[in-house]
Amino acid sequence: MTKKRQMSGRTVAELVTHLGRIAHGEGFVDDLTPAQWSALRYFSGANRFSRAPSAFAEYHGTTRGTASQTIKSLVSQGYLIRRRSEADGRSAHLDLTDKAKAILADDPSLTLMQAAGALSTAARRHLANVLERMLGHVALEHGKRPFGMCISCAHLKGDGCCREGKPPYECGFLGEPLDEAELEQLCVNYEAGKASAVKHAFSRAALR
Ligand code: SF4
């Protein structure tokens, strides 16, 4: 009987790192650096509670000073607009401009997205579950916030049904109503609690 070869954790880690390195290396497009592309992707996918410089610094694993320089350059190039947070009126809140939305259609990581899209649904589901578990583990080991989506967050309330005087979904942590589109956006206050976000995303997509 043929014995199956075992794949070491080191080999898997090298593959993941290599993939990230190649995608990162493709970042010098349209005069934007990989860090600037990362920021545009972050502010495009983050929910309204997480579009602050400090949250981006944490997500990107960089210092607040470095994150602030990246953001400043994107504001001066017309890709981000800085507003005052509606929550406290003091902290900064950043939104993408139309120019940024247009350039994201040519995101250099599209090849990575296409490679993932070419996998079967089952393979994507399996891979996404595995990566989600690895991310959670690494974030915990490094004392970082895990970031995640409402659909698997312990603070999500509601079942999508409209009842009089109550929103279909609500954030129990912030006491804010949530609309359906926000359920799959990244959040800095995320706390793992419910079933995997990935499983939800795939089962929701299968119903569409
Ligand atoms: S439910 Fe969780 S992920 Fe969603 S906004 Fe609230 S804290 Fe963030």
**Local confidence pLDDT in tens for the 208 residues of the chain:** 566 678 899 999 999 999 888 877 666 667 888 899 999 999 999 999 999 999 999 998 889 999 999 999 999 999 999 998 776 777 889 999 999 999 998 888 888 888 999 999 999 888 887 887 888 888 889 888 888 889 888 999 987 777 777 778 999 999 999 998 999 899 999 888 755 454 555 455 554 4
C-alpha dihedral (27, 12, 56, 203), degrees to nearest 10: 100
Atom of ligand 1 nearest to the CA of 149: 3
CB 187 less than 6 A from any atom of ligand 1? yes
Asked if 126 and 93 sit in the same domain, the reply is no
Q: How many domains does the chain have?
A: 2
Atom of ligand 1 nearest to the CA of 183: 4
CB 188 less than 6 A from any atom of ligand 1? no
Tell me how far apart the alpha carbons of residues 188 and 147 are, in angstroms, rounded to a whole number. Answer: 5
Containing structural domain, residue 201: 121-207
Asked if 130 and 57 sit in the same domain, the reply is no
Asked if 87 and 136 sit in the same domain, the reply is no
Residue 98, classed as helix, strand or coil, is helix
Asked if 165 and 90 sit in the same domain, the reply is no
CB 49 less than 6 A from any atom of ligand 1? yes
Indicate whether 92 belongs to any domain: yes
Phi-psi region of 78 (alpha: psi -120 to 50; beta: other; left: phi over 0): left
CB 156 less than 6 A from any atom of ligand 1? yes
Asked if 101 and 18 sit in the same domain, the reply is yes
Asked if 75 and 141 sit in the same domain, the reply is no
For helices 110-117 and 121-141, the axis angle rounded to 10 degrees is: 130
**Cα 1 to ligand 1 centroid, rounded to whole Å:** 50
Q: Which long-range contacts (CB under 8 A, 24 or more apart) does 44-47 make?
A: 44/96, 44/100, 44/101, 44/104, 45/185, 45/186, 46/185, 46/186, 46/187, 46/188, 47/150, 47/182, 47/185, 47/186, 47/187
Residue of 59, 157, 171 to test ligand 1 pocket, by largest number of atoms within 8 Å of CB:
171
Tell me how far apart the alpha carbons of residues 18 and 141 are, in angstroms, rounded to a whole number. Answer: 21
Give the predicted TM-score (pTM) of the model.
0.80
CB 186 less than 6 A from any atom of ligand 1? no
Number of Cβ within a 10 Å radius of residue 18: 10
Q: Residue 183 is encoded by which pair of tokens?
A: 């359920």
Asked if 75 and 144 sit in the same domain, the reply is no
